[in-house]
Amino acid sequence: MSGASPRVGIVAVSHSRPLAEAAVALALEMVAGDPPPIAIAAGTPDGGTGTDAVRVSEAILEVGAGGAGVVVLMDLGSAVMSAEMALEFVADPELRVRLISAPFVEGLLAAIVRAAGGADLDAVATEALAALRPKSEQLGDAAADDDQRAVDDPGDRADAPPAAAGDLASAAPPPAIAEAVVRNVAGLHARPAAVIAGLVAERGVALTLATDAKGPVDATSPIGIAVLGAGPGTRVRIAATGAGAAAAVEEVRALIESGFGEELAELAELDVAPAEVQPAAHPSHETPSHPLGVSSGRVVGPVAVMVHAADEPDPAVRIPADARYGAATRLREAMLAVAGEMHATAQMLSGQRRDVLVATAAIAADPALHRAAEALVRDEGATPERAVWVELGRTAAQYRELGGRMAERVTDLVDVRDRIIARLTGVERPGVPERDHPFILVADDLAPVDTVGLDPECCLAIVTEQGGPTSHTAILARELGLPAIVGAAGATALADGTVVLVDGDTGELIVQPDEGARATATGVITLPPFEGPGQTADGHRIVLGANVGAPRDIRRAVERGAEGVGLFRTEFCFLDRTREPSVDDQVAAYREVFAAFVGSRVVVRTLDAGSDKPLPFLTSDDEPNPALGVRGYRTSRRDPEVLDAQLRAIARAADAEQADAWVMAPMIATVAEATEFVARARAAGNRTVGVMIETPAAAFVADELCAVVDFVSIGTNDLSQYTMAADRMSGELAHLADPWQPAVLRAIRLIGEAGTRSGTPVGVCGEAAADPALAPVLVGLGVTSLSMAARAITAVGAIVSSATLAQCRTAAEAACAATDPAAARAAAREALAT
Amino acid sequence: MSTTDTITIEGFTAWLAAFRDRVTEHRSYLTELDSAIGDADHGANMARGMAAVMEKVGASPATTADELFKTVGMTLVTSVGGASGPLYGTLFLRLGMTAGAVAECDAAALSSALRAGLDGVVARGKAEAGDKTMFDAMAPALDAMDAAIASGASLAEATAAARDAAAAGRDATEPLVARKGRASYLGERSAGHLDPGATSTALLFDALAEVTAS
C-alpha cells in the first residue's frame, strides 16, 4: 500500500479535538496498511471548542509536503470559515488543496480510505464529496439521493482516474494494451461513450483510448471518448495501468467489438482502416439543409417559440484569489447536481429517451470536464459560469467538427451548459412554453430534458431549426405521434401566435396558410369530436376507444368522444417508484379512470414492466435482450404477489364505479399462461378477462386462446417487432417494424379469424389503430374494436363509417396478398375506392 | 487638515484598547445574547481574543497601520476559536492591508480601510443585509460615515455618525431570523433577540467614536 509515490494528505478541521481524533481513529480502522498523511486542526490550544485558521494552514502544509495535494474535511460554522481563510495563508501556489463540503465523519472516512489506497487528488475529493450517499440510500432520503445520484454516472466514481490525458501519454509504457475495431454504424457516439466510461470508472483502473489520429483520452470521460470521433472500421488502442488493468482492457475491447447492441456496419477485413476521423461516414445524419419531415401528420395551429441559450458570461470578471477555491467547489457541486437531476429525470422515462438522457447526464458528470473547468476557476480566476461556458463551448466545437451524429448532439452540450449556468447564477433557464391553448412548438432544437415537460395533449406539432432524422426532436415526435419538421432554418424568428401549417411527411411549412391550405390539414384540432357509435357504412359495430396512459389523458379522451378506453396502461402508477404502490393507492388511481366512463368499456392492461419499461422492484436490468426477456406477464412468475395485488385493486375499483371493466395481461405466449391468468384474475374478482396478443406464438394458437379468454387485444407495435424480428425503437428498421408488412397483416388475420369463429371480441390497441388508412383493413381482418390516441378517433371513425364490411374484407385480402407495405397500402386504397 | 482630523497609531491602539474594555465589560451580556441564539461563547471568545491582541500589541508595538492590524487579525484568528475569529480577523487584516504602511489615517482613508474590512467579512461569511449578522451593524455604520465625510464632517463627527448607525443597525437585528451561522439552525426562534455579532460590532464603533472624539 505504501508505494513510492506520495499520497494525498488529509486535514480534519473541527471545533472539537476529541471529535476529530475519534473520527480519524474510526477511519483508520478501515485502513490496513500505511495511513496517508493526516493532520488534525481542531479545538483551541487550551482544550476548548473552536477553530484556528492559522493552525489549519499549518496542517495543510504539513500533510501536503509530498506534493500529491490535500483534501480538507471540516465540521460546521467557523470550521468552514477557518478552512477557507487558511487557504489565504498557504503561500505555496503549487500545492493543490480541496475543501470538501461532505459531512465531517463520512467525508473523512471516505477520503482517508481512498487516499490510503493511493488514489489521486481528484479521486479522493470525488469519493469524499459523495460520502453521504450510502447513508441517504439506506434511509431512502429522496432529496439527498438526487444530489448524490450523480456519482452513479459513468466516470465520476473514478477510483483512480488519470490526472489528464497528457500525463498518461508521457507515462511509462502501460502493462496492458489491446486494439479493437469499432463495429457499430454510429461509432463511439454519446451512448457508447457513456457505457465505456461507466465500465472503466467501475473497474477503477487508469485506462485510455486512442486512435491513430487522436488521443489518448481518459476513458472515464464520455466527452473525451466521443471527441475521438471513432467511426465504424476505426482501430482503437486501449491501454491501462493499475490492478486489474488487463481484465479491464479486455472488457473494453470486447465491448467495442460487440458494437454496443447497435446496428453493425458491414466491414470486410480489408475495410478496417487505420483510424482517422470519418465524419462523412454517416451522411444520413447530417443536419439537412432544407426542412425535413421526420414524423407524420399535417396540422394547423399557432406557434409558440421556445428560446433558450444562456447569455454569455462576462469574460472580464475575475474572482479574487481567496474566493477561487470556494468558487471551484461551487462549480463542481453545480455540475454534479445537474447530472443528478438529469439522471433522476431519466429514470422516469423509457426507451430511447431514457438512454439519451442518461448519456447527457454523463456529460455533466464528466470528470475531465470538471477538471478543466475547475482549473479555469482556480488558476485564472474565471467565474464558474464562464468556465462552464468556455469548456463546453470547446467540446461543442469538437463535436461540430466531427459532423454527423456527433454534431446533432451539440444541442445536448448546450443544454448541459445552460443548466449548469442557470444553477450557478440562479437565473432560470426557460423551458417548454406553457399555453392554455394547443400550439405548434418552434425551437432551435429540443434537448432531451425539454421533452419531459412536453404535454402531447397541448402540443400539436414540433418544428426545429436544427437537428436531423436521428435528433431527439425526431425520436420524441415519433414516440408521441406528433407531426414534426427539423432543419427549418429561421423558424424561431416567427412571432409567437403566428398560424402555420406543418406537414411532417413532406417537410412543408406554410406560414399563415389560406383557407384552402388549411383545409388540407388532416390532423387539425378543429375536427369535431367523434360521435358514436362506431360502425361501418352497413352498420357493423366497431367500438372506437382511446388509449389512456396517465390521468391527464382522461379529459382528452372524453372530449374527443371516445367510446370508452381500449387500452388503459397502468404503468404510470408504478413508474418512478422503487417499491410497489399499495393496493389502496392503485384503487384510487384506477377509480379515477373508471369514473370518467360510466357505462363504457375500460380495458385495463396489467403491469407491462420490462424491456423498455423497467421497474426497479420488478425487473432486472442485466438481461442481454430485454425485449425477449422477463417482461409483461412473465414478471409475475418471479413476483406473483405484485400481479395478484393489482388484480385485486382493479376488481375493487371496478366494484366501486360504474364502468364496464375488462382486464387483460400483456406478453402472453402460451395457452397455459392465458389459462393461468384468467384463473387468477377471476379469483381476484374480475369478470371479463382477456389477453394481449403481441407474440407470433400467441397468434399461432389464437383458436385455443379464444377458447379460454373472454376477449383478445392485439398489440400491433410488439406484434410487428416480434413478427419481423426488428426492434421497434430502431429508426433504421422502421421499414420492417411496420404493421403494413404483409406478414404482420397475416398474423392479425389469424387472430381475427379465430375471434370470428368463436365469437370472441378482437381489439387492436397499437399505433396501427390510429392509422386511418389501416383501420378498414383491420376491420376486414376481423377486428371488432380499435383503441388509439384520442385525437385520431374522429378521423378513424369517419373512414370506418365510409366503408361497408364487405369492402373492408376485400381491402384486407388485397393488403394481405401484397408483397410489401407500399403495395399493401395501394391495394387497400384501391379496394376501398371501388 | 488639522491633526485632530487624523487617527494615529496611538489612536488605533487606544481604539483597540477601548474595544477590549467594552467586550470585557459586556462579556456576560454578549454571551447571554449568544446563549439565546448561538453557542454562548461570543462574549468569552471576544474578551479572550482582544486580551490576547492587547498583550501582543503591548509586547511589540507597531509603527504602521498594516503592521498593527496584521498582528490584530492574526491574533484574533488564533485565539478567538469561534466564527468571530475568522470574521474579525479578516476585518482587521483587510483594514490594515488597505490602510497600508502609514502612521496615520484621515477620515476618508479610515473609512475606505473599514470598507475593505467589511468586504472581507462578506467574502468570508457570505452574509447579506438582513441575515442577522455583524454585517447589519457594520454596513450602515460605514454608509453613515461616508455620508458624513461627503458632507464635510470632521473625523469625530463621522465616527459619531457611524456609532449611531451601528447601534441602530444592531437594534434592527432583533426581529430578524438568522440565516447564517449556528443561529440559522434555530430558524424562526432566532427572531426576538439581538444578534451578538452585530452587538459587538456596535461596541467597536462606539470605541472608535470615543477615541476620535477628543
CB A570 within 8 A of CB A602: no
CB spacing of B85 vs A323 below 8 angstroms: no
B83 to chain A, any CB pair closer than 8 A? The answer is yes
What distances in angstroms separate CA A763 from CA A281, A282, A598, one per listed residue? 44, 41, 20
**Closest Cα in chain B, distance from residue A419 (Å):** 24
Domain A543-833 bears CATH identifier 3.20.20.60: yes
| Local structure of A238: helix, strand or coil | strand
Strands B104-106 and A9-14 turn out to be unpaired
CB spacing of B85 vs A54 below 8 angstroms: no
pLDDT at A2: 41
Distance of alpha carbon B175 from alpha carbon B170, whole angstroms: 11
Distance of alpha carbon A20 from alpha carbon A10, whole angstroms: 12
In chain A, residues with a C-beta closer than 8 Å to the C-beta of B39 are: 49
The label of the residue with cell 466527452 reads A223
CB A565 within 8 A of CB A603: yes
pLDDT at A700: 97
Q: What is the mean pLDDT of residues A437-455?
A: 75
In chain A, residues with a C-beta closer than 8 Å to the C-beta of B84 are: 78
Residue A173 clears pLDDT 60, i.e. is over it: no
Predicted confidence band of residue B98 (pLDDT cuts 50, 70, 90): very high
pLDDT at A626: 80
Exposure class string for B2-39: b at 16+ Cβ within 10 A, else e: eeebbbebebbbbbbbbbbbbbbebbebbbebbebbbb
Residue A170 clears pLDDT 80, i.e. is over it: no
Please name the member of B78, B79, B82 whose beta carbon is closest to the beta carbon of A78. B82
Residue pLDDT, tens place only, A473-511: 676 676 666 888 888 887 887 888 888 999 887 888 888
Distance of alpha carbon A282 from alpha carbon A189, whole angstroms: 12
Q: Angle B107-125/B155-172 helices, nearest 10 degrees?
A: 30
Residue pLDDT, tens place only, A730-768: 666 777 888 999 999 999 999 999 999 999 999 999 778
**Residues of A catalogued as catalytic:** 472, 765
Predicted confidence band of residue B147 (pLDDT cuts 50, 70, 90): very high
Q: Angle A190-203/A245-258 helices, nearest 10 degrees?
A: 160
Cis peptide before A35 (omega within 30 of 0): no
pLDDT at A755: 96
Q: What is the mean pLDDT of residues A637-654?
A: 93
Pick from A521, A787, A762, A702: nearest CA to A812: A762
**Please, what is the Cα angle at A190 between A187 and A191, to 5 degrees?**
85
Q: Lowest mean pLDDT of A322-331, A416-425, A515-524, name the range.
A: A515-524
In chain B, residues with a C-beta closer than 8 Å to the C-beta of A56 are: none
Residue B10 clears pLDDT 90, i.e. is over it: yes
Residue that wins the pLDDT comparison between A311 and A752: A752
Distance of alpha carbon A569 from alpha carbon A349, whole angstroms: 15
Write the DSSP symbol of residue A294.
E
Predicted confidence band of residue A263 (pLDDT cuts 50, 70, 90): confident
pLDDT at A429: 61
Please name the member of A44, A48, A81 whose beta carbon is closest to the beta carbon of B86. A81
Distance of alpha carbon A176 from alpha carbon A239, whole angstroms: 6
For domain A288-308+432-514, give the CATH number.
3.50.30.10
Pick from B43, B46, B58: nearest CA to B13: B58
- Amino acid identity for residue A357 in this structure: L
Distance of alpha carbon B127 from alpha carbon B48, whole angstroms: 25
pLDDT at A384: 93
CB spacing of B82 vs A55 below 8 angstroms: no
pLDDT at A167: 37
Distance of alpha carbon A713 from alpha carbon A693, whole angstroms: 6
For domain A319-425, give the CATH number.
1.10.274.10
Write the DSSP symbol of residue A332.
H
Distance of alpha carbon B3 from alpha carbon A45, whole angstroms: 43
Q: What are phi and psi of A117, to 5 degrees?
A: -80, 0
CB spacing of B125 vs A48 below 8 angstroms: no
Predicted confidence band of residue A259 (pLDDT cuts 50, 70, 90): confident
Q: What are phi and psi of A85, to 5 degrees?
A: -65, -35
Class of domain A9-131: alpha beta
A77, closest residue in chain B (CA to CA) = B181
**Closest Cα in chain A, distance from residue B168 (Å):** 26
CB A249 within 8 A of CB A399: no
Compute the residue count for chain A: 834
CB A713 within 8 A of CB A698: no
Compute the residue count for chain B: 214
**Closest Cα in chain A, distance from residue B45 (Å):** 9
Distance of alpha carbon A637 from alpha carbon A615, whole angstroms: 15
pLDDT at A542: 96
pLDDT at A268: 53
Pick from A575, A651, A666: nearest CA to A613: A575
Complex ipTM tops 0.90: no
In chain A, residues with a C-beta closer than 8 Å to the C-beta of B83 are: 77-78, 81
pLDDT at B192: 83
In chain A, residues with a C-beta closer than 8 Å to the C-beta of B89 are: 53, 85
- Across chain A, mean pLDDT equals 82
Q: Lowest mean pLDDT of A501-505, B68-72, B184-188, name the range.
A: B184-188
Distance of alpha carbon A16 from alpha carbon A43, whole angstroms: 5
CB spacing of A85 vs B182 below 8 angstroms: no
In chain B, residues with a C-beta closer than 8 Å to the C-beta of A85 are: 77, 86, 89-90, 124
pLDDT at B214: 60
CB A633 within 8 A of CB A694: no
Pick from A323, A312, A308, A310: nearest CA to A386: A312
- Across chain B, mean pLDDT equals 90
CB spacing of B181 vs A82 below 8 angstroms: no
Distance of alpha carbon A705 from alpha carbon A694, whole angstroms: 13
Pick from A477, A446, A440, A482: nearest CA to A464: A446
CB spacing of B77 vs A76 below 8 angstroms: no
Distance of alpha carbon A657 from alpha carbon A554, whole angstroms: 15
Please name the member of A76, A82, A323 whose beta carbon is closest to the beta carbon of B123. A323
| Local structure of A264: helix, strand or coil | strand
CA A10 to chain centre: 38
- Amino acid identity for residue A376 in this structure: L
Instruction: List B7's β-bridge partners, or say none.
Output: B105
What distances in angstroms separate CA A615 from CA A290, A297, A573, A609, one per listed residue? 41, 33, 11, 6
Residue pLDDT, tens place only, A377-392: 988 889 999 999 999 9
| Local structure of A600: helix, strand or coil | coil
pLDDT at A156: 36
Residue window 184-213, chain B: list those with CB within 8 Å of chain A: none
Residue pLDDT, tens place only, A782-813: 999 999 888 788 888 988 999 999 999 999 99
In chain B, residues with a C-beta closer than 8 Å to the C-beta of A84 are: 86, 124
Name the grid cell of A608. Answer: 407491462
User: Is the dihedral angle over the CA atoms A373, A377, A382, A385 positive or is it negative?
Assistant: positive
CB spacing of B77 vs A48 below 8 angstroms: no
Delimit the domains of chain B by residue range: 3-213
CA B142 to chain centre: 11
Instruction: List A499's β-bridge partners, or say none.
Output: A302
Pick from A238, A234, A237: nearest CA to A279: A234
B119, closest residue in chain A (CA to CA) = A320
The label of the residue with cell 419531415 reads A293
CB spacing of B45 vs A76 below 8 angstroms: no
Predicted confidence band of residue B165 (pLDDT cuts 50, 70, 90): very high
Cis peptide before A216 (omega within 30 of 0): yes
E strand or H helix at A180, and its extent? strand A176-181
Residues of A with a Cβ under 8 Å from any B Cβ are: 15, 44, 48-55, 76-78, 81-82, 84-85, 320, 322-323
Residue pLDDT, tens place only, A195-222: 888 888 877 778 888 888 777 788 888 7
Distance of alpha carbon A343 from alpha carbon A348, whole angstroms: 9
Residue pLDDT, tens place only, A350-371: 666 677 788 888 888 888 888 8
- One DSSP character per residue, A631-664 reads -GGGHHHH-HHHHHHHHHHHHHHHHHS-SEEEEE
CB A596 within 8 A of CB A568: no
E strand or H helix at A406, and its extent? helix A404-408
Exposure class string for A278-303: b at 16+ Cβ within 10 A, else e: bbebbeebbbbeebbbbbbbbbbbbb
For domain A165-277, give the CATH number.
3.30.1340.10
Predicted confidence band of residue A526 (pLDDT cuts 50, 70, 90): very low
CB spacing of B124 vs A81 below 8 angstroms: yes
In chain B, residues with a C-beta closer than 8 Å to the C-beta of A82 are: 77, 85-86
**Closest Cα in chain B, distance from residue A372 (Å):** 25
Q: What are phi and psi of A535, to 5 degrees?
A: -160, 160
CB spacing of A52 vs B85 below 8 angstroms: yes
Residue A161 clears pLDDT 80, i.e. is over it: no
Maximum average pLDDT range among A519-523, A612-616, A635-639, A700-704: A700-704
A16, closest residue in chain B (CA to CA) = B81
In chain A, residues with a C-beta closer than 8 Å to the C-beta of B41 are: 49-50
For domain B3-213, give the CATH number.
1.25.40.340
Name the grid cell of A433. Answer: 412554453
Delimit the domains of chain A by residue range: 9-131, 165-277, 288-308+432-514, 319-425, 543-833
Q: Angle A324-347/A367-380 helices, nearest 10 degrees?
A: 160
pLDDT at B206: 96
Distance of alpha carbon A23 from alpha carbon A30, whole angstroms: 12
CB spacing of A82 vs B182 below 8 angstroms: no
Q: Lowest mean pLDDT of A350-364, A468-482, A667-681, B12-26, name the range.
A: A468-482
B90, closest residue in chain A (CA to CA) = A85
B74 to chain A, any CB pair closer than 8 A? The answer is yes
